[in-house]
């Protein structure tokens, strides 16, 4: 199969998140984040593991960067841990925490790798959770902007591309509605507060970033999961439309239109948070790019027992492990491999949001990888990337303003409640020894980048 071809100047990178790779949760003045706390609670992480070491990146950032160079990457998306920079979440700045990120940026730039920095990838300082309930409180939005100011003032001379928040839906829903992620709440009222406040924090954060660095480019990373009706009954079609608004359009329309979609918004009126007179204007301030995390599609069925939505959304098949269902491969994360949905969603965003510049800030797959004779053969991941990158390249050819692609992820890391059991990396990591081995998919990506005719 020929390699997908992308536009000239395209950025190729991998994405990571601080909590999933750094380890050293209390080094140099850092205090706990909600994930440090949550992952140490009994029964929260399926494997009983924690991220105290993870990929040991805090102590050895060069090792990761050597891998990026070996893979031929020219960009990297990572996140800053708020609790390293401001251990209490507000007030005193921890210079040593800032120094770590400053050094990381220098190391990247020295190797020709452009950093994209996410300011919030779900790791709320524990003290803000304790004092304010994290993003359940409006106050946290302005504290986020203060934190953004500190980071951008320190790094903005070298870092130009900033992402305010990662996947507000997942953080609000998994962390505050379903209780599967930190901080482990289960409350629809809290869910909607957190979702709105995350977007408000994005808007205020964007203003703070621009005030601290005149030539900063700012975006937000949203996940998009197309929701299809499980049958063609009218009730399921309606359920899918609502599901789509709940997962996707709430955030997309908030940011690009300054409104929350109907009928979802009216249906949830009993649990609306306070919306300040300026909130929607702040939320929909002009973004320079959209960060898109895309994995798969899901299915909705009418479900009268689900409050407010009347819909239940799930994978079409709830089995386990790699398998083929109805002709489609599934990953061991129970995601259907359906690359064409990626093309469709990119076109949907182009039409709905006025063809914004888009970076794929995450896309990747977890399969059961085995290290054998110093090699990892992962043909399913290679096929996944061929399919998804091919569809993204088609979308760029058909007019989507696609600028870059960050594969999730550089190396196997701490996959939230799955612990180390789910491997998404282009590089295999033996977490007992920290040995790294580039998988076949990593070599495929290297060749794909080398083959770019337009030049990367």
**Residues labelled as active-site residues:** 167, 362
Contact of 154 with 98, CB cutoff 8 Å: yes
Closest approach, Cβ 449 to ligand FCB, in A, equals 22
Closest approach, Cβ 293 to ligand FCB, in A, equals 6
Closer CB to ligand FCB, 94 or 296, in the complex: 296
Closest approach, Cβ 89 to ligand FCB, in A, equals 21
123 beta partners: none
Q: Please name which of 83, 80, 105, 79 lies closest in space to residue 93, comparing C-alpha atoms.
A: 83
Distance between CA atoms of 452 and 215, rounded to whole angstroms? 29
> Dihedral, CA atoms, 196, 197, 200, 205, nearest 10 degrees?
-150
- Tokens standing for residue 343: 């093309």
Closest approach, Cβ 351 to ligand FCB, in A, equals 25
125 beta partners: 33
Give the rounded distance of the alpha carbon of 376 from its chain centre: 25
Closer CB to ligand FCB, 161 or 362, in the complex: 362
Contact of 401 with 9, CB cutoff 8 Å: no
Closer CB to ligand FCB, 367 or 424, in the complex: 424
Give the rounded distance of the alpha carbon of 232 from its chain centre: 32
314 beta partners: 299
Alpha carbon distances (Å) from 80 to 18, 21, 100, 406: 6, 11, 10, 17
Closer CB to ligand FCB, 302 or 389, in the complex: 389
Closest approach, Cβ 363 to ligand FCB, in A, equals 9
Closer CB to ligand FCB, 90 or 181, in the complex: 181
Helices (H), 225-358: 234-244, 250-257, 264-267, 279-283, 340-353
Nearest residue to ligand FCB by CB is 17
Closest approach, Cβ 420 to ligand FCB, in A, equals 12
Closest approach, Cβ 52 to ligand FCB, in A, equals 18
How far separated are the first and last CA of the chain, in Å rounded? 20
Q: Please name which of 189, 162, 191 lies closest in space to residue 176, comparing C-alpha atoms.
A: 191
Closer CB to ligand FCB, 405 or 416, in the complex: 416
Distance between CA atoms of 331 and 318, rounded to whole angstroms? 12
Q: What does the binding site for ligand FCB look like in residue numbers (CB under 6 A)?
A: 17, 20, 166-167, 170, 293, 362, 408, 415-416, 424
Closer CB to ligand FCB, 244 or 415, in the complex: 415
Q: What are the percentages of helix, strand and coil residues in the chain, rounded to 5? A: 40, 20, 40
Tell me, what DSSP letter sits at residue 119? E
**Crossing angle for the helix pair 340-353 and 379-397, to the nearest 10 degrees:** 30
Closest approach, Cβ 342 to ligand FCB, in A, equals 15
Tell me, what DSSP letter sits at residue 2? P
Question: Who contacts 170 (Cβ-Cβ below 8 Å, separation ≥6)?
Answer: 122, 181, 223
Closer CB to ligand FCB, 336 or 362, in the complex: 362
Q: Please name which of 304, 290, 392, 308 lies closest in space to residue 349, comparing C-alpha atoms.
A: 290
């Amino acid at each position: 199969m020929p390699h997908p071809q992308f536009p000239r100047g395209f950025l190729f990178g991998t994405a990571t998140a601080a909590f999933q790779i750094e380890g050293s949760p209390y080094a140099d003045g850092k205090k706990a984040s909600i994930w440090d706390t949550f992952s140490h609670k009994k029964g929260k992480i399926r494997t009983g593991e924690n991220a105290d070491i993870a990929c040991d990146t805090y102590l050895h950032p060069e090792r990761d960067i050597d891998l990026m160079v070996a893979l031929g990457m020219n960009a990297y998306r990572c996140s800053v841990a708020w609790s390293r920079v401001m251990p209490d979440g507000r007030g005193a700045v921890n210079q040593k925490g800032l120094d770590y990120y400053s050094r990381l940026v220098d190391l990247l730039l020295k190797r020709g790798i452009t950093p994209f920095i996410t300011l919030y990838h779900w790791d709320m300082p524990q003290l803000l959770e304790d004092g304010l309930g994290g993003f359940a409180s409006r106050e946290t939005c302005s504290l986020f902007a203060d934190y953004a100011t500190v980071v951008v003032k320190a790094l903005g001379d070298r870092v130009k591309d900033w992402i305010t928040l990662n996947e507000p839906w997942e953080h609000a829903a998994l962390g505050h509605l379903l209780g599967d992620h930190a901080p482990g709440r289960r409350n629809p009222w809290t869910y909607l507060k957190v979702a709105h406040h995350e977007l408000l924090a994005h808007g205020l954060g964007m203003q703070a970033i621009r005030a601290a660095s005149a030539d900063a480019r700012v975006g937000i990373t949203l996940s998009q999961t197309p929701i299809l009706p499980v049958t063609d009954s009218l009730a399921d079609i309606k359920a899918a439309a609502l599901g789509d608004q709940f997962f996707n359009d709430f955030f997309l329309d908030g940011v690009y239109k300054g409104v929350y979609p109907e009928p979802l918004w009216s249906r949830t009126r009993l649990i609306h948070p306070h919306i300040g007179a300026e909130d929607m204007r702040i939320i929909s301030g002009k973004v320079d790019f959209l960060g898109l995390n895309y994995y798969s599609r899901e299915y909705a069925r009418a479900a009268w027992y689900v409050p407010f939505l009347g819909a239940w959304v799930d994978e079409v098949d709830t089995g386990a492990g790699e398998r083929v269902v109805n002709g489609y491969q599934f990953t061991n994360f129970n995601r259907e491999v359906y690359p064409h949905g990626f093309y469709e969603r990119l076109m949907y965003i182009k039409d709905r949001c006025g063809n914004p510049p888009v970076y794929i800030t995450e896309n990747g797959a977890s399969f059961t990888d085995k290290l054998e004779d110093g090699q990892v053969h992962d043909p399913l991941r290679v096929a996944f990337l061929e399919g998804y990158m091919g569809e993204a390249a088609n979308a760029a050819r058909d007019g989507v303003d696609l600028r870059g692609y960050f594969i999730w992820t550089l190396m196997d890391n701490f996959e939230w409640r799955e612990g180390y059991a789910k491997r998404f990396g282009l590089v295999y990591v033996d977490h007992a020894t920290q040995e790294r081995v580039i998988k076949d998919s990593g070599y495929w990506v290297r060749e794909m980048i080398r083959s770019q005719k337009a030049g990367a």
